[in-house]
Amino acid sequence: MPRTAALEMDPERFRELGYRTVDRIAEFLKGLRERPVTPGESPAEVRAHLGNGALPERGAAPEELLEEAWRLLAGHSLLNGHPRFLGYVTSSAAPLGALADLAAAAVNPNVGGWTLAPMASEIEAQTVRWIAEFLGYPPFCGGLLVSGGNMANFVGFLAARRAKAEWDIRAEGAGCRRMTVYASSETHTWVQKAADLSGLGTQSIRWIPADRDFRMDLSELRRAIEADRAAGHLPFLVVGSAGTVSTGAVDPLPALAEIAQEHGLWFHVDGAYGAPAAALPDAGEDLRGLRYADSLAVDPHKWFYAPLEAGCTLVRDARRLQETFDYSPAYYHFDGEEEEQRLNYYALGPQNSRGFRALKVWLGLRAAGREGLARMIGDDIRLSRLLHREVQKREELEALTQGLSITTFRYVPRGVDRTDPAAAAWLNELNEQLLNRIQAGGEAFLSNAVIEGKFALRACVVNFRTEQADIQALPEIVTRLGRETEAALAATSAVERPAPPTAG
Ligand SMILES: *Cc1c(COP(=O)(O)O)cnc(C)c1O
């Protein structure tokens, strides 16, 4: 009797269910704009939709399951592909990427070892090379895809730690001597996780102050390195940001590279968000300076518009990854032509078994081409600058910053003096509650930043569906919800609205 397996599916049935699923997705994409960005439900409401049944003893028919899963997901999700989704650094995902993930999952190559994934390994290598080319990074670098920006930065961090430790840190651990990292106060929190998980500890991070434009202060950096040297520590890593997560600020990367080189430190650039903007014709020299990095993190699931998850680490000297992660004897890889040419990604990063993330990125790069990609990124930046100008025109909005495709601003009601220290706490409270109202309302989605102590609304355009009209609608939405929030706050808050400035 032939075996029956609960999860096997007849190909004809797969075809039918697949078509149905694709039909649902196509309708979903067609109707995106008409829907709220988020249903704004509470955790209790979402859980109630899901139910809390026990693991079923018996299986069920896949068509009903697929239909139900789709209903749950499509009806109760935040839609980051919506034209008015402008929160965090989360891009709209290329629909092509969804098809790519389906194909990748169907063939299911294990891109940990070349033998297990011959073509997928080669496609990943080509993807990495194209990303480097696009960014202006030396194309003969090493690199690999990882889950996202945090991991991409972590891989760079570990490569730096391995390269700069003056002992066998992989065997002996980090205990010998304090190794110190230099990062601006605007750096994303990945650096804390990396310092922690690598065993160096967060106390090895030297937070270098940023200047008025949120860029690392170079003299403070020099001073900190020299002080650590004098104290007998081992400075090993300078981290620059190519687009900070709060305001899109770009550190003076060429100057950071020079300081790192002068002191014999590794130079890592966090370009998770902003690196792709280096490809634009009008990119500044500071941003283009990412080409001097010993390692560079970039996030294809951000400004390459790939669906989650896809991060990428590039390393100038390709051998560094193997030196950091490989546990097979060195001769294994260089023992003859054949082996040398086999790309075994398990030896180049933290993962062992690896999925085929590269396909959606590779297809996206090919479908858009350098020109199409640069145009989407450039349009996002132009829309962000437009928002900044529109906000400046509004009496009740205060524009705070504009960098790359991030604009920050806040709501300041008429009659409130935005410079009055007595108004500061009240304005922060007001804008925080306003953000909650915006996020729950579903008309548009923003996130927040804190700019010199001010709670700010933050719009980050990494969204090829956002139109000029969406941007122009924002100031009106924010002002209207701002007035509502103010009224609600007056009714409930312990913090009082500051008195209007008195004449004289
Ligand atoms: C998003 C981001 C990260 C983290 O990337 P994930 O993909 O969320 O892990 C790190 N640094 C910067 C500057 C970012 O914008």
Alpha-carbon span 411 to 431, nearest angstrom: 6
Alpha-carbon Rg for the chain in angstroms: 25
How much of the chain, in percent, has pLDDT values that exceed 70?
A: 96
Residue 252's contacts (CB-CB under 8 Å, 6 or more residues apart) are: 215, 216, 218, 240, 286, 289
Q: Over the stretch 148-199, which tens digit does the pLDDT of each residue have?
A: 999 999 999 999 999 999 999 999 998 779 999 999 999 999 999 999 999 9
Q: Where are the beta strands (DSSP E) in 344-429?
A: 397-403, 406-411
Query: Which atom number of ligand 1 is nearest to the Cα of residue 243?
Result: 13
Q: Over the stretch 446-480, which tens digit does the pLDDT of each residue have?
A: 999 999 999 999 999 999 999 999 999 999 999 99
Query: Which atom number of ligand 1 is nearest to the Cα of residue 151?
Result: 9
How does residue 495 score in pLDDT terms, banded at 50, 70 and 90? low
Please state whether 264 falls in left (phi above 0), alpha (psi between -120 and 50) or beta. left
Q: Which of 110-124, 222-236, 416-430 has the lowest mean pLDDT?
A: 416-430
Q: What is the pLDDT of residue 115?
A: 95
Q: What is the pLDDT of residue 332?
A: 47
Query: Which atom number of ligand 1 is nearest to the Cα of residue 271?
Result: 13
- Order of strands, edge to edge, in the sheet holding 295-298? 142-146, 311-315, 295-298, 266-271, 234-241, 179-184, 205-208
Alpha-carbon span 83 to 278, nearest angstrom: 24
pLDDT of 330 > 80? The answer is no
Alpha-carbon span 148 to 312, nearest angstrom: 7
Q: Over the stretch 189-233, which tens digit does the pLDDT of each residue have?
A: 999 999 999 999 999 999 999 999 999 999 999 999 999 999 999
- Positive or negative, the CA dihedral 12, 18, 24, 29 is negative
Q: Could you tell me the pTM of the whole model?
A: 0.95
Name which residue leads in pLDDT, 266 or 139: 266
Pairing status of strand 179-184 against strand 205-208:
parallel
H or E segment at 237? strand 234-241
How much of the chain, in percent, has pLDDT values that exceed 90?
A: 91
Residue 263's contacts (CB-CB under 8 Å, 6 or more residues apart) are: 225, 229, 235
Among the listed residues 464, 487, 282, the one whose alpha carbon sits nearest the alpha carbon of residue 368: 464
**Ligand 1 pocket check: which of 89, 90, 305, 361 to mutate, most ligand atoms within 8 Å of Cβ?**
89
Q: Which long-range contacts (CB under 8 A, 24 or more apart) does 106-111 make?
A: 107/356, 108/356, 109/356, 110/353, 110/354, 110/355, 111/345, 111/354, 111/355, 111/356, 111/357, 111/358
H or E segment at 145? strand 142-146
pLDDT of 331 > 50? The answer is no
**Ligand 1 pocket check: which of 273, 305, 309, 312 to mutate, most ligand atoms within 8 Å of Cβ?**
273
Q: What is the pLDDT of residue 444?
A: 98
Q: What is the pLDDT of residue 176?
A: 77
Q: What is the pLDDT of residue 121?
A: 98
pLDDT of 335 > 70? The answer is no
Among the listed residues 218, 203, 265, the one whose alpha carbon sits nearest the alpha carbon of residue 237: 265
Q: What is the pLDDT of residue 341?
A: 74
Q: How far is the CA of 460 from the centre of ligand 1 (A)?
A: 13
Angle between helices 190-197 and 149-164 (to 10 degrees): 50
Phi, then psi, of 316 in degrees rounded to 5: -55, -45
Q: Over the stretch 376-400, which tens digit does the pLDDT of each residue have?
A: 999 999 999 999 999 999 999 999 9
Alpha-carbon span 378 to 241, nearest angstrom: 19
CA distances from 342 to 102, 112, 242, 329, 350 (A): 26, 11, 33, 15, 18
Average pLDDT, the chain: 95
Alpha-carbon span 134 to 148, nearest angstrom: 18
Q: What is the pLDDT of residue 328?
A: 78
**Ligand 1 pocket check: which of 88, 150, 154 to mutate, most ligand atoms within 8 Å of Cβ?**
150
H or E segment at 118? helix 118-135
Alpha-carbon span 349 to 338, nearest angstrom: 21
User: For residues 303 and 273, is the Cβ–Cβ distance under 8 A?
Assistant: yes
Residue 48's contacts (CB-CB under 8 Å, 6 or more residues apart) are: none
Q: How far is the CA of 33 from the centre of ligand 1 (A)?
A: 27
